[in-house]
Amino acid sequence: MPDASPLKAGEVAALVAAALPFKGLAAATLDSLADIAEPASFRAGEPVYEAGARSEELFVLARGVVRLERPESGAQSSGGDLVYAGEGFGWTALIVDGARRQRAVAVGDALILRLPGAALIERLAKDPGPGRVSREDIAAAIGRAIQPSDPEAGAQRAAGQNAGAPSAVELKLHRLGQWLRSPRPYLMLLGYGLLVGFWYLSVEVLRLPRFAEMPGPTAVFREWLSAEPTYGISIHTTIYYQHILISVQRVLIAFAFATLLGVPTGLFLGWSKTFRDYVFPLFEMLRPIPILAWVPLAIIMLPGNELPVLYLTFLASFFATALNTMLGVRSIEPSLSLAAESLGASRWQVFRHVVFPGALPFIFTGLQISIGVAWFSLVAAEMVSGQFGLGYLINTSYTSVSYPTIVIAMITLGAVGFLSSAAVRFVGSWLMDWRRHQLALDGGR
């Protein structure tokens, strides 16, 4: 292990006081906590604890950086949440005795203080000063500790407290470099190449019978890039971008309403048995009905051409969001809610600090599905009752035998849908990084 400079008793007490989410602790209490703090040094890449270790200690990082790996992250992955000097981790030692952790690894040489969870709680409960910590205080403080924190603030603290610690930009560049060194981007390009190659061979070289009427890649890309397209649609025509803009606008509006209504509906379906008993049977009866079956009613019920399209796009997206949110709530370990309640948390505090953060991964999975569902629902709606949009363009191109335009609209639809899904994944990943302390409730800390 690296040779770490020793810490004085006053430094240990100050580190513990800064890391714990309590205010007003007596000096004697801090000294007693410093007495049970055991320093341990770790080299870069050395695990602080392995996946499956029992959660019996709270850790305070004195020097260096520690990465808390997510369940999907491997030992060689850069994925995970970073802990900087002066911060605590391993909060499950104060919540659920004996819970199982995920993996924690030192990013560089690190000095860590280890505090036994049971002894820590015992000394906090005996604090004689005005900051005496009750069981209710512990529950509330842990609730605040698992709230999303600002990753930029963490990077700033690291800059001030860790000489040589990686900055946020350096970490992003490091992850980008790892991705470029991995086979993933090249396999992705290979997949695209195989698809275009099969298309070219089937249509333009072998001229297979079932592909005789299809436009080949040469005709499609020539039309797409032409300044004077034969069928009127190319990257040089204004109408092309008008179709894209209108479709994107419709999807964003429908997706926003589906999120605003679907997430609360899913949360209550998973959290409230009474609400679920009343609503879920109706929810499950309506969910399998195809979007096209709703078209006549949408046209009858809603005025104009725009509202039916938005409603049909919203409907499928809403069901996907609500169902995944409900599954996220139902997947939370009941012991976490029971532990919070036993520490004095109210029902609203359990919902806010345990249920909602615990359901977030499922919520964002649902949103990724939801945005994709919104796109193919939009195309179906635009084909039937829309004016303008990529679905409308595909339908009118078929009726006018403009086959290259159909393929252009389909590729454009796939590209825009891919970018929208990637944006949802990016936002979800960003918010999961903010959710650093929530990993404690999943055994990750």
Q: What is the pLDDT of residues 329-357, one digit of tens each?
A: 988 888 777 777 777 778 888 888 888 88
Res 308 pLDDT > 50: yes
Question: Stretch 274-296: mean pLDDT, rounded?
Answer: 91
Model confidence, pTM: 0.60
441 neighbors 146 (Cβ within 8 angstroms) = yes
Question: Stretch 181-185: mean pLDDT, rounded?
Answer: 85
Cα–Cα distance for residue pair 366/168, rounded to 1 Å: 28
Mean pLDDT of the chain: 80
Res 110 pLDDT > 50: yes
Res 61 pLDDT > 90: no
Return phi, psi of residue 179, to 5°: -65, -40
Question: Stretch 359-380: mean pLDDT, rounded?
Answer: 89
Q: What is the pLDDT of residues 376-415, one digit of tens each?
A: 889 888 887 667 899 999 999 998 889 999 999 999 999 9
Model pLDDT, residue 426: 84
Pick from 363, 383, 341: which is nearest to 136 by CA?
A: 341
pLDDT over 70 percentage in the chain: 78
DSSP 237-271: -HHHHHHHHHHHHHHHHHHHHHHHHHHHHHHHHHH
Cα–Cα distance for residue pair 170/176, rounded to 1 Å: 10
Pick from 293, 280, 275, 354: which is nearest to 323 by CA?
A: 280
Q: Which is more confident, 258 or 99? A: 258
Q: Which is more confident, 63 or 260? A: 260
Q: Which amino acid is at 85?
A: A
Q: How many CB atoms lie within 10 A of CB 283?
A: 18
Structure-token pair, residue 179: 């991705």
Model pLDDT, residue 199: 92
Q: Which is more confident, 255 or 72? A: 255
Pick from 47, 85, 67, 60: which is nearest to 164 by CA?
A: 85
Cα–Cα distance for residue pair 125/362, rounded to 1 Å: 36
Most confident of 84-93, 109-118, 409-418: 409-418
User: Which helix (H) or strand (E) element contains residue 342?
Assistant: helix 334-342
Cα–Cα distance for residue pair 219/362, rounded to 1 Å: 43
Q: Which is more confident, 439 or 174? A: 174
Structural domains of the chain in order of their starting residue, each with its CATH number:
9-161 (2.60.120.10), 219-442 (1.10.3720.10)
Model pLDDT, residue 65: 86
- Among 29-38, 87-96, 151-160, 269-278, where is mean pLDDT lowest? 151-160
Question: Stretch 272-284: mean pLDDT, rounded?
Answer: 91
Res 445 pLDDT > 70: no
> Can you give 199-239 as a three-state secondary structure string?
HHHHHHHCCCHHHCCCCCHHHHHHHHHCCCCCCCCCCCCHH
Residue 436 pLDDT grade (very low, low, confident, very high; cuts 50, 70, 90): very low
Question: Stretch 100-115: mean pLDDT, rounded?
Answer: 84
Q: What is the pLDDT of residues 143-181, one digit of tens each?
A: 554 444 444 444 444 444 444 444 556 656 666 777 788
Pick from 195, 217, 191, 194: which is nearest to 204 by CA?
A: 217
Residue 117 pLDDT grade (very low, low, confident, very high; cuts 50, 70, 90): confident
Residue 234 pLDDT grade (very low, low, confident, very high; cuts 50, 70, 90): very high
Q: Which is more confident, 231 or 430? A: 231
Question: Stretch 81-106: mean pLDDT, rounded?
Answer: 74
Cα–Cα distance for residue pair 66/433, rounded to 1 Å: 14
Length of the chain: 445
Most confident of 9-13, 45-49, 425-429: 45-49
